[in-house]
Amino acid sequence: MLEILGIAVLAWIAFYYVVFRPPRMRKERVGGIDPVQAATRMKDHFDETAHPQDLLEYRPFVDAAADLSRSERTDAELLTYANGANPIVACMALEALAGREEDEAPTEELLGCLNLPSWWARFFALRALDARHDEPIAPRVLTQVDDTWSQPLLAGVMAEFLERRNGKGDTPSVQPLLGSISSTRFNALDRLVKASRSPLLDQVRAELRDAARERVDVDLLAGIGLLRGPEDGPEDSRP
What does the pLDDT look like over 176-204, one tens digit per residue? 999 999 999 999 999 999 999 999 999 99
- Per-residue pLDDT, 213: 87
Q: Is the dihedral of CA 126, 191, 140, 83 positive or negative?
A: positive
Half-sphere exposure for 96 (CA within 13 Å, toward CB): 31
- Per-residue pLDDT, 216: 57
Residue 14 main-chain phi, psi, to 5 deg: -60, -40
Among 26-35, 69-78, 192-201, 221-230, the range scoring the smallest mean pLDDT is 221-230
Predicted TM-score (pTM) of this structure = 0.78
Collect all residues with Cβ–Cβ distance below 8 Å to 6 and sequence separation of at least 6: none
d(CA 162, CA 168): 10
d(CA 30, CA 97): 16
Q: What is the mean pLDDT of residues 223-236?
A: 45
> Which DSSP letter does residue 117 get?
S
